[in-house]
Structure 1
Amino acid sequence: MRRAGVLMLVLLLAGGTLWAQEGVEETLTLHGAALDMIWLVLTAALVFLMQAGFAMVETGLTRAKNAANILMKNLMDFSVGALAFWAIGWALMYGAPSLGGLIGGNGFFLSYSPEALEAYGASSMYDIFRDWMFQVVFAATAATIVSGAMAERTKFTAYLTYSVFVSALIYPTFGHWVWGGGWLSELGFHDFAGSTVVHSIGGWLGLAGAIVLGARKGKYVRVGNEVTVKAIPGHNLPLAALGVFLLWFGWYGFNPGSTLSGSDLSIGHVAVTTTLAAAAGAVLSMITSWLLYGKPDPSMSLNGALAGLVGITAGTWVIGPTGSVIVGAIAGIIVVFSVEFLDKVLHIDDPVGAVSVHGTCGAWGTLAVGLFANGVNDPGIVGLFYGGGWHQLGVQAVGVLAGFAWAFVTGLILFNLIKATIGLRVSEEEELKGLDLSEHAVESYSGFQIFSNM
């Protein structure tokens, strides 16, 4: 009897220990999932705040008579874009590979069968909702970049139309190639948070739109063979500065959030490289403009900070602090010369420098992975300057070229179709009056007399 009692006690204790271990494991798993849920939703909110940053930058760097139009476009590109991404874009980007792996093919309207959920790797629809929320704000960022390059002369109906196509088709398709398991991902292309996937795609679409749309009236005056470039200053530099600080703040959701886990200890690394690149971009852009113009230019310095942020976004996880300073500094220099080249050589009117900040510097930052990646978080991604050879740089170059070709060509097709159907540009009279009155019948600064030089 005594032996039987001892045996029973041992079995009970062993069973209790096993039960306790299972309980601890379940609790840890639940807490880990909860932490990831909180992290992704919180960082998605930070990225969403970048919409306010874009709105303030674009409003400040354009004229007062178009302020309400800028605000409406930033509100609506997220609103219509979110619906388009829910209905179509998410499925094309993250659905099961279709059409030879070029696009995703399921998950439309966030509808999933149990088999589709399992194939995605989700335990429930809560995982899908979490991931969709984090991704929709990235899609909206790509769409809103286009707004700045085409500001002050685009029909509002045209803007709504192309915002739908960007969020539903153009951005998600390229996103599938990189983040959805597509062909660029299989090549080993690395774009951690979207220097090319988000920023260059938006920048190259903006370039196509600015070309098809044409310059603002009075921007370029041709006399014989000579073209005079006339500056059209924005009306509120403090607003533009506020926008840049909001964007910088939101970038701590954009880059660190792309770790996709609140328990990933590399979050601190990503936050540091993001900060250093932005600071270096602002300083070098200030110095470059000082040398070129004789004075440190505030708008160029503001765009320099954004250039540094865009530049480091691809490599923030695989580039160390020193490398991030170099990447950001070079981006700060590049953005000044890119703005000058587009404006004074190519005569492409980009009111806020969106093409240079997002397109050009996004391309540079993506290539920089192949130069400065040091294997710190992924030993398989090592750049040329750290002994990795030319392979990664070559893969990055393929991704940059693919992004440019896809966005620029589809952009030209889309904007020319809109131009030929519903019309892309407002009339000359409407442009001179200002889009606030002509498109929305409101005044942004009611009670103030606004003088315009054109």
Structure 2
Amino acid sequence: MEFFKNKRVVFSLILGGLIISPAAADTNQVVEIAMGLDTVWVLLGAFLVFFMQAGFGMVEAGFIRAKNSTNILTKNFLDFCMASIGFFVFGYAIMFGKGNGFLGWSGFAMVGAESGADVPLFAFWLFQAAFCGAAATIVAGGMAERMKFKAYLVYSFLISAFIYPIVGHWVWGGGWLSALNFTDFAGSAVVHTTGGVAALIGTIILKPRTGKYRPDGSVKMIAGHNIPLASLGVFILWFGWFGFNAGSTLSVGDGSLISLVAINTNLAAAAGGILAMIVVWGTTGKPDLSMALNGALAGLVAVTAPCAFISPLSAIIIGSVGGILVVLVSLLLDRLKIDDPVGAFPVHGVNGIWGTLALGLFGRQSLGLTSEGLFFGGGFSQLGVQALGVFTIATFVIVAMGIIFLIIDKTIGLRASVDEENIGLDIGEHGLESYSGFQIIE
């Protein structure tokens, strides 16, 4: 017993030292410790968002045919490579450099650049570069199975270096939308609307996959080759989204904001998955797993803008609407003969818009929003700003990316040849099979 008493005394002294030490430290030491914690938190968020690239790759590869798996994974891999270089040389300066309300023009190649948060410049840059890569890779799924690889590389660099950063400057870089109090906490508009709308205009210009729509107008179902792989991808994305949203606090603080964002992120995903499954079950008679997976992603996209300014109950409602929308819009695209193999536009474009607007409906002033949302007596003020912002962003992306895709199409060509499409882009463009030694039945 005496041994344990002595151990308790030693433990008490150590604990007392830990408690007293911060009080005894001078202000500079406390500030340094706080910045160190914030830096680690931001870097952890960056690492999680980077890991989402693997999730995107698995989802997109699983939802398409086996003969194009290497191609889509190569695009996902090169997306982050192109985004890193493009955002380093041009993108960061345009997004966070000193300039005007439309774009920044200082800090190219990070020379003379300044951090946009109270963390070291390179930590903040890495976090933002990971977001840039996520926006770029959304488009790969919408244009899968028929886009030339070299055309995709050109697109990937241009959206990462110029298009995405301009939108980001408007909202997060002190641009004209931020001056109007337009709010997008973690990127429903900046990341997902940008990527999703770019995917839509790209797939319209690219036209459907061969055989997707029969001459009589009926739809030929082109099933994904590996649903377990796609499921793994969604779990990875769900996990990474905690870094995407909670990491956007850019500070540890007292932990309350991080906790709110995390629970809202989780609840919206769960609600989206459930509602998407219910709707597709009622529509087709089968509880389609692929649609439930996209429903969870839709909930995640939708809650990304308002996650810091809403209650958990509101997050469930927002995620539920997202799950419904992803099913209905996916069915609508087939009616319009717009071929989006993985649902890039229904998941990211439509729910990026919905999530941005939802902030104006469900946002709470008590949680830091400039005014109450419409459903809490705040009127149409915030909702109007959100609508203006997301409409402008979508219009800009449609015009800018439409021009880029058309120029690519008229120069190096946008679409792979019919022969390459038939044998698969893995062999046609890369000379490499994903499943060597196995007979692939399409």
Give TM-score scaled by structure 2 length.
Answer: 0.93
> How many residue pairs get matched?
420
Q: Residue in 2 aligned with 1:12?
A: none
Stretches of structure 1 that go unaligned for 5 or more consecutive residues are: 1-19
Residue 156 of structure 1 pairs with residue 149 of structure 2? yes
Residue 268 of structure 1 pairs with residue 270 of structure 2? no
Q: Residue in 1 aligned with 2:92?
A: 90
Q: How far 1:380 moved relative to its partner?
A: 1.7
Q: How far 1:128 moved relative to its partner?
A: 1.1
Which letter does structure 1 place at the counterpart of 2:83? G
Deviation sequence 1:79-110 (CA, Å, 0-9, x none): 01110000000000000024xx2101111111
Give the aligned CA root-mean-square deviation in angstroms: 1.4
Q: How far 1:381 moved relative to its partner?
A: 3.3
Deviation sequence 1:138-166 (CA, Å, 0-9, x none): 00000000000000000000000000000
Is the contact made by 1:35 and 1:263 (CA closer than 8 Å) also made in structure 2? Answer: no
Residue 362 of structure 1 pairs with residue 358 of structure 2? no
Aligned equivalent of 2:30, options 28, 31, 52: 28
Residue 277 of structure 1 pairs with residue 268 of structure 2? yes
Is the contact made by 1:273 and 1:316 (CA closer than 8 Å) also made in structure 2? Answer: yes
Q: Which structure 1 residue ranges, 4+ long, deviate > 4 Å from structure 2?
A: 20-23, 120-123
Q: 2:371 & 2:195 partners in 1: Cα distance?
A: 26
Q: Residue in 2 aligned with 1:14?
A: none
Q: Residue in 2 aligned with 1:106?
A: 106
Q: How far 1:438 moved relative to its partner?
A: 0.7
Which moved further from structure 2: 374-383 or 148-157? 374-383
Is the contact made by 2:281 and 2:288 (CA closer than 8 Å) also made in structure 1? Answer: yes
Is the contact made by 1:307 and 1:335 (CA closer than 8 Å) also made in structure 2? Answer: yes
SS at match of 1:76: helix
Residue 339 of structure 1 pairs with residue 330 of structure 2? yes
SS at match of 1:222: coil
Percent identity of paired positions between Structure 1 and Structure 2? 54
Q: 2:98 & 2:337 partners in 1: Cα distance?
A: 43
Is the contact made by 2:181 and 2:370 (CA closer than 8 Å) also made in structure 1? Answer: no
Q: 2:105 & 2:441 partners in 1: Cα distance?
A: 53
Deviation sequence 1:365-417 (CA, Å, 0-9, x none): 10000100122321523100111111001000001101110111111101000
Q: Residue in 1 aligned with 2:317?
A: 326
Q: 1:261 & 1:309 partners in 2: Cα distance?
A: 21
Larger Rg: 1 or 2? 1
Is the contact made by 1:319 and 1:376 (CA closer than 8 Å) also made in structure 2? Answer: no
Q: Residue in 2 aligned with 1:207?
A: 200
Q: 2:121 & 2:362 partners in 1: Cα distance?
A: 34
Stretches of structure 2 that go unaligned for 5 or more consecutive residues are: 1-21
Q: 1:299 & 1:106 partners in 2: Cα distance?
A: 44
Q: 2:220 & 2:314 partners in 1: Cα distance?
A: 38
Residue 179 of structure 1 pairs with residue 179 of structure 2? no
Q: Residue in 1 aligned with 2:293?
A: 302
Which moved further from structure 2: 256-265 or 384-393? 256-265
Deviation sequence 1:252-290 (CA, Å, 0-9, x none): 000000000022530000001101100000000010011
Give TM-score scaled by structure 1 length.
Answer: 0.91
Aligned equivalent of 2:121, options 104, 128, 138: 128
Is the contact made by 1:318 and 1:381 (CA closer than 8 Å) also made in structure 2? Answer: no
Is the contact made by 2:193 and 2:350 (CA closer than 8 Å) also made in structure 1? Answer: yes
